[in-house]
């Protein structure tokens, strides 16, 4: 695991084109071991001494103090998705039209088409299929009864899609990807991923480089102890596990970080209403436990 100074040096080399993206990733992760954490390293422990305060900045306790991060680094893949999405949107904005024959071949080669049954009278979708009664189908819209449904071909749907991408006929997810995921898509989904792949392939190195620089910046910020406070074990665990912090009004009870005060500091009428809700929730969970549905 690289130290803070080593990460900064690696990032600067990448920005200044002194090193390629693949080598940068290799150097960043080459000594990484499963389960290894930054706070286990000698570098972290030595720098921690300079940053940690004498008491908890939340409750003023002096017992078992730790560095509490208020934000955490994202994974590299998260940044990669974000940057890819940005490039994709830019590509689509500037290349809204695609070649019909190229797209048709892409669809037919990469997706299985599962046709939707249609009423032969009104061409409405998904008529009711009957198991015992004859004829087999009955249209819910025009009430027509029939034995054989109509079907549109994939090529017909693609033609409709190119005339009107929002047409009623092309909204169904009737195309199944031939890869291991077997995801269901409609033609709008397929077009987006088709254009996304083009955008990604056109600028693969730039996308990876930008994403990796953001990833390095995030980790440098984390290792630099930016956006941190000194917290005791109780305050730190409440924040990390339950997203709770000490109430700034009474300095006695903990509250959810999204609320201005704890329950105890609410006006009496509001406090009683919240306490009743909490009690009802407890009773409901107890009932589910007794019924074996928890």
pLDDT of residue 36: 82
What pLDDT shows up at residue 289? 86
**What local confidence, expressed as pLDDT, does residue 65 receive?**
96
Which 3-state string (H, E, C) describes the chain? CCCHHHHHHHHHHHHCCCCCHHHHHHHHHCCCCCCCCHHHCHHHHHHHHHHCCCCCCCCCCCCCEEEEECCCCCCHHHHHHHHHHHHHHHHHHHCCCCCHHHHHHHHHHHEEECCCCECCCCCCECCEECCCCCCCEECCCCCCEECCCECCCHHHHHHHHHHCCCCHHHCCCCEEECCCCCCEECHHHHHHHHHHHHHHHHCHHHHHHHHHHHHHHHHHHHHCCCCEEEEEHHHHHHHHHHCEEECCCCCCCEEECCCCCCHHHCCHHHHHHHHHHHHHHHHHHHHHHHCCCC
Domain of residue 179 covers: 77-207
Question: Would you say the C-alpha torsion 79, 80, 85, 87 has a positive or negative sign?
Answer: positive
Selection from 227, 224, 228, 240 nearest residue 68 by Cα: 228
The rounded distance, in Å, linking the Cα atoms of 202 and 208 is 12
Q: 196, 84 in Cβ contact below 8 A?
A: yes
Q: What is the pLDDT of residues 258-279, one digit of tens each?
A: 999 999 999 999 999 999 999 9
Tell me the residue length of the chain: 294
Is 132 in the same domain as 65? Answer: no
pLDDT tens digit sequence for 200-211: 999 999 999 999
Do both 196 and 293 map to the same domain?
A: no
pLDDT of residue 294: 62
Do 170 and 273 belong to one domain? no
Residues 71 and 216 in one domain: yes
Same domain, 105 and 202: yes
Q: What pLDDT sits at residue 188?
A: 97
Domain identity same for 260 and 151 = no
Total number of domains constituting the chain: 3
Same domain for 139 and 96? yes
State the pLDDT at residue 1: 87
Residues 120 and 158 in one domain: yes
Residues 9 and 131 in one domain: no
Percent of the chain at pLDDT exceeding 90: 90
Strand partners, 255: 245
Judge whether residue 293 has pLDDT over 80: no
Lowest mean pLDDT among 107-116, 196-205, 272-281: 272-281
Specify whether the CB–CB gap between 116 and 174 falls below 8 A: yes
pLDDT tens digits along 23-52: 999 999 998 887 788 989 999 999 999 999
Do 163 and 69 share a structural domain?
Answer: no
What is the average pLDDT score of the chain?
95
Question: Within this chain, do residues 70 and 178 fall inside the same structural domain, yes or no?
Answer: no
Residues 189 and 217 in one domain: no
What the block records as the tokens of 186 is: 């409609």
User: Model confidence at 292, in pLDDT bands (50, 70, 90)?
Assistant: confident
- Average pLDDT of the residues in 57-74: 93
Please name the residues in contact with 131: beta carbons below 8 A apart, sequence gap of 6 or more: none
pLDDT grade for 291, boundaries at 50, 70 and 90: confident
131 contacts 111 by C-beta, under 8 angstroms: no
């Amino acid at each position: 695991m690289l130290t803070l100074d080593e990460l900064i040096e690696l990032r600067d080399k990448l920005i200044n084109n002194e090193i390629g993206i693949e080598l940068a990733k290799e150097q960043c992760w080459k000594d990484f071991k499963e389960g290894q954490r930054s706070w286990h390293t000698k570098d972290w422990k030595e720098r921690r001494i300079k940053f940690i305060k004498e008491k908890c900045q939340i409750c003023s306790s002096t017992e078992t103090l730790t560095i509490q991060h208020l934000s955490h680094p994202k994974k590299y893949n998260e940044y990669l998705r974000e940057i890819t999405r940005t490039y994709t949107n830019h590509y689509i904005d500037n290349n809204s039209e695609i070649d019909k024959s190229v797209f048709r071949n892409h669809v037919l080669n990469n997706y299985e088409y599962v046709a939707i049954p249609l009423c032969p009278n009104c061409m409405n979708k998904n008529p009711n299929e009957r198991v015992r009664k004859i004829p087999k189908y009955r249209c819910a819209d025009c009430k027509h009864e029939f034995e054989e449904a109509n079907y549109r071909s994939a090529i017909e749907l693609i033609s409709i899609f190119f005339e009107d991408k929002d047409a009623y006929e092309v909204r169904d997810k009737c195309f199944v990807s031939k890869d291991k995921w077997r995801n269901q898509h409609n033609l709008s989904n397929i077009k987006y991923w088709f254009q996304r792949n083009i955008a990604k392939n056109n600028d693969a190195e730039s996308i990876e480089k930008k994403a990796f620089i953001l990833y390095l910046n995030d980790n440098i910020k984390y290792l630099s102890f930016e956006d941190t406070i000194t917290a005791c074990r109780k305050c730190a665990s409440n924040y990390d596990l339950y997203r709770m912090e000490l109430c700034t009004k009474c300095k006695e009870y903990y509250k959810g970080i999204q609320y201005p005060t704890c329950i105890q500091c609410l006006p009496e009428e509001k406090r009683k209403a919240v306490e009743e809700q909490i009690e009802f929730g407890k009773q409901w969970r107890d009932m589910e436990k007794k019924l074996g549905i928890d």
